[in-house]
Amino acid sequence: MTLLRSLIVGVLAVAVAQLVRTLLADRRRAVRRIAWILLLAPYFTPILLTGYAYANFSLSLIHHPILNPILYSALLWWKFTPIAAVILHFTPAPISAEAIHCRRLVSSAGSAQRGVAATVSKFGHWAFLIRAGCAAGPVAAFAVVFLFAFAEFEMASLMVVKSWTVALFDSHAGGLALGESLRRMPGPLLCEAAAIATAFVVLGRRQVIPTQRIEGRPASRWFAWCHLVFAFVFVLAIPAAMVLWGTVRGFGLLMENFVLSREILASLLFAAGASVLAGLAAFWPGAAARGRSIGSMFCKAILIAAVFAGLLGSLVLSLTVLAAVQLPGLILLRNTPVPLVFTLGLVLLPMALVLRRVLELTARRSALHLTTLMQKSRAVRELTWKLSTSGKFRVMVLLFVWAFWDLTASSILAPIGMTPVTVRLYNLMHYGQIAALSAMTCAAFAAPIFVFLLALGTRRWWAPP
């Protein structure tokens, strides 16, 4: 069931992403900006918020067992289409649309002369496009969306949808040993490994990113806009409105008894630790892994192993780490933040590497090189920030926010006395949607935003002298 759902979500996401891409590469800056905001906002919406908002509604669909999985699939589609769109945007076809058109004209003229049927000619055209590497972007986008949809756990659990991740979790809840559970799951793990390998192979070969402007047909542009608006409304706006409405009513209660301060602080610390770990691994050994020396090869091997582990998803990884810290050699780490920070760092690493790759591909190298040749000054520092460091800073912020909103690893691995805020909120969400809880959720939302603003104040420190 999960496999079929993930395949469908993957195909639909790539199909829509092809249309959305035209908006992202529009000639008008304002259009591009709105499209990017509408595209990325649902993706960065914490899954806990969306799941919380729809948990009651999905429960009310108990007499319509088909509708709930459809709603869940639609939410997955809206939430993960941005990944496909971003991949397609940054990995366009290596040959231009004009070149493809010219080839089509030449080959159709040739086919007409030779009397070959049009269908054969069309097949040849597709084969040519695939050979030329035009399918690489969509294949990679499909593989990554499939992987995310396939490994999703939190929303499936909140919306009571059947999924292999929930089944794995339940089998553990019933006391099944990790080894036995994993032995029951060779199929899912094989699917994940295949998707990971596909994405690696295809994305690893991409070298350039031409920033082309694309013109789409009006109908497809309208469809793309509709998709973006629906995604924004259903994944972010409705859940946020529900929480904000509750916040207005529960604000007084929250002020009377603000009980989440320690949990928010713990979450901020875990998120900081995990994002720094993932950032370090992506930007430091990530850079060292290039080249052919023994050291580089070693770095590469470690990174590949770490990325593979991270792509298994936080559920499988957390359960494995939980089993590992029961071993005599690692038992000292059991009640420390190390297992959780390490696990979150691994989970974030693949995305950190992808984002680093995007930064590399979009970097204006010659301009950056020129700044390194210039005399040190405040203006040069500002320029370096704009050309290079600001992108990395944004990557770190994203990693931080992702880590902050993790639920699965936090609920399994947080040490006693350091309960992250997501675990506490999720526990309270068990009692339904109440005003005070919505206010607490809102406060938890504000925390990483506050940290982001604080960090933005230190921007000069991030740009090297």
Which residues would be at the binding site for other proteins (CB under 8 A)?
A: 56, 59-60, 62-63, 157, 160, 167, 169-176, 262, 265-266, 269, 272-273, 276-277, 279-280, 283-284, 287, 326, 331, 334-335, 337, 368, 372-375, 384, 387-389, 392, 396, 407-408, 411-412, 415-419, 423-424, 426-432, 461-465
Cα gap 407→314, rounded to integer Å? 9
Q: How far is the CB of 322 from other proteins (least distance, A)?
A: 8
CA–CA separation, 335 and 338 (whole Å): 8
Q: How many CB atoms lie within 10 A of CB 173?
A: 8
Task: Tell me whether residue 8 or residue 322 sits nearer to other proteins (CB atom).
Answer: 322
List C-alpha distances in Å: 349 to 303, 304, 354: 9, 10, 9
Q: Judged by CB, which is closer to other proteins: 20, or 156?
A: 156
Q: Nearest approach, Cβ of 173 to other proteins (angstroms)?
A: 4
Terminal CA-to-CA distance of the chain, rounded, Å? Answer: 54
Give the shortest CB-412-to-other proteins separation in angstroms: 6
- Distance, in Å, from the CA atom of 309 to the CA atom of 462, rounded to the nearest integer, reads 30
Shortest distance, CB of residue 59 to other proteins, whole angstroms? Answer: 6
SS3 457: coil
Nearer to other proteins, 227 or 424 (CB): 424
Q: Return the number of the residue (110 or 464) whose C-beta is nearest other proteins.
A: 464
Find out whether 396 and 279 touch, Cβ atoms under 8 Å.
yes
Neighbours of 125 (CB within 10 A): 16
Query: Do residues 144 and 202 touch, judged by C-beta distance below 8 A?
Result: no
Residues in the chain: 465
Q: DSSP labels for 184-248?
A: T-HHHHHHHHHHHHHHHHHHHT------------HHHHHHHHHHHHHHIIIIIIHHHHHHHHHHH
Q: Cβ 424 to other proteins, closest distance in Å?
A: 8
Closest to 50 (Cα-Cα) out of 165, 159, 167: 159
Task: Give the separation between CA 275 and CA 261, rounded to whole angstroms.
Answer: 21
Min dist CB 287 to other proteins, Å, is: 6
Q: How far is the CB of 68 from other proteins (least distance, A)?
A: 12
Complex with other proteins: residue 81 or 411, whichever CB lies closer: 411
User: Which residue has 């992506």 as its token pair?
Assistant: 282
Residue number, 175 or 210, with CB nearest to other proteins: 175
302 in Cβ contact with 285 (< 8 Å):
yes
Q: How far is the CB of 418 from other proteins (least distance, A)?
A: 6
The whole-angstrom separation of Cα 353 and Cα 300 is: 12
Decide whether 143 or 274 has the Cβ nearer to other proteins: 274
Cβ of residue 452: shortest distance to other proteins, in angstroms? 14
Q: From the CB of 154, what's the least distance to other proteins, in Å? A: 8
CB 160 within 8 A of CB 68: yes
Kindly tell me which of 170 and 215 has the beta carbon lying closer to other proteins. Answer: 170
Nearer to other proteins by Cβ, of 357 and 392: the residue is: 392
The DSSP code for 260 is -
CB burial class (10 A; 0-12, 13-18, 19+) of residue 338?
middle
Q: Based on CB atoms, which residue is closest to other proteins, 378 or 430?
A: 430
Cα angle 16, 237, 447; round to 5: 115
